[in-house]
Amino acid sequence: MRKLCEEAAITLGVNLPRVRRNYMLATALITGLIVSACGVIGFVGLIIPHIVRGLVGTDHRRLLPFTILAGALFVTWADVLTRITLESGELPSGIITALLGAPVFMYILFKNTLGFSSK
């Protein structure tokens, strides 16, 4: 069905590569604003549900408890890793969550199934 929608959009004169690029830019800017306002918790809230959905499925009765558990474990282990990294000082755990979460977020964003790729 997606192919039919793309063909209809092209027939109507929509420049799909430009629209996709604009949506990608808007998504990146909005995500940056959310992370800057919410910090670590906002970034974890963006990434962890997508990872857990891939592992346990889309049924929200199972998804919500596993997402809560996975988010708590992720933040806890990020904090442990920051405490181990610098023994003399304290490193913000947001740095570790960003280093681990940003590549995952980019993978999710550029995945073909979301329709953001150039195919």
The pLDDT tens digits of the residues spanning 49-107 come to 888 988 998 889 999 999 999 999 998 898 888 888 877 777 777 788 888 888 888 88
Residues with Cβ within 8 Å of residue 38, at least 6 apart in sequence = 45
HSE value, Cβ hemisphere, 13 Å, CA-based, for 7: 4
State residue 3's pLDDT score. 63
The DSSP secondary structure of 26-50, one letter per residue, reads HHHHHHHHHHHHHTHHHHHHHHHHH
pLDDT of residue 6 exceeding 60, the answer is: yes
Look-up: residue for tokens 């073909």?
Answer: 112
Using 50, 70 and 90 to split pLDDT, how confident is the model at 47?
A: confident
Contact predicate 74/44, CB 8 Å: yes
